Structure 1
Amino acid sequence: MDHLKIAATDRSPDVDFDFEAGVFSLKGESYPEDASTVFGPIFAALDRFFSSADIRELRFDFDLIYFNSSSAKALMNMFQMMENAAGRGTKVVVNWHYAADDETMKEFGEDFSEDLENVTFNLVPSSSAA
């Protein structure tokens, strides 16, 4: 398992998961009509990846400028997968990027981080997100 790349659409984020390097990125907007169509392949790839042995360190970069409630649920499911891996000893770092003037996206990051005990969750303000 090397790489999962899915180009962004008007309603779904750019996905760039480099499994070999342990670096994962979601960038853009996420408000698909059918979240399972967008996130299904992502969850399947992560399931395969997390069930493989000897995962030592992972970095997830989330650089989303907007997402809807079905995407928020998918993100929570993804965070739970990361939390489970971290609980088994994998070092997991999440970088939650948001525009410095976007309090809503900052608060979403804070909310997501509250449910994670074993994952290092960094809020990363930037002058321009996604």
Structure 2
Amino acid sequence: MDRLQLPQTERSPLVDFDFDRQRLRLEGESYPEDAAAFFGPLIAALDRYLERLRAEPPAAPLILDLRLAYFNSSSAKAFMNIFQRLEAAARDGVEVQVNWHYQTDDETMMEFGEDFREDFQAARFELCVFD
């Protein structure tokens, strides 16, 4: 499956979905004017990819790294849609790990990570602090 890469802009995060390596990454700020238009193609690509993994689970885990400085409520909804799909894939036998990266002094992002983590049972959700 082709790698999906979008550059970071002032309002949207860097996207690097390296499907062949099972590494997905979102980084930066996320408040696109039309979150559905921005995240829709990403979620569609993720759906196609997860179907492949369900049919033939890889030996290594699928890893999603999120390193966000800010996001709005529309982006949060999109993240939840992504997380629900990853959790469902994990329940179906795909090993999934989500890494939520936040800066040491960013309590808000830490708390968002803690809140998102509550929705995971089958997939691993790690809080990863950095300086």
TM over 0.5: yes
How far does residue 99 in structure 1 lie from its aligned partner after superposition?
A: 0.5
Aligned match of 2:73: 69
Aligned match of 1:11: 11
Letter in structure 2 aligned against 1:105: M
RMSD across aligned C-alpha pairs, in angstroms? 0.7
Q: Give per-residue Cα distances to partners, 1:58-81, cap 9 Å, x unaligned.
A: 000000010000000000000000
Aligned match of 2:28: 28
Structure 1 Cα separation of the partners of residues 57 and 37 of structure 2: 27
| Higher helix proportion (structure 1 or 2) | 2
Q: Could you state the TM-score of these two structures normalised by the residue count of structure 2?
A: 0.94
For structure 1, which runs of at least 5 residues remain unmatched after alignment?
none
Aligned match of 1:122: 126
Indicate whether 1:54 and 2:56 are aligned. yes
Deviant stretches of 4+, over 2 Å: none
- Identical columns (%): 56
Indicate whether 1:78 and 2:79 are aligned. no
User: Secondary structure at the residue paired with 1:70?
Assistant: helix
Structure 1 Cα separation of the partners of residues 11 and 57 of structure 2: 32
Letter in structure 1 aligned against 2:21: A
Letter in structure 2 aligned against 1:95: N
How far does residue 2 in structure 1 lie from its aligned partner after superposition?
A: 2.7
How far does residue 51 in structure 1 lie from its aligned partner after superposition?
A: 1.3
Aligned match of 1:45: 45
Letter in structure 1 aligned against 2:25: S
Aligned match of 1:98: 102
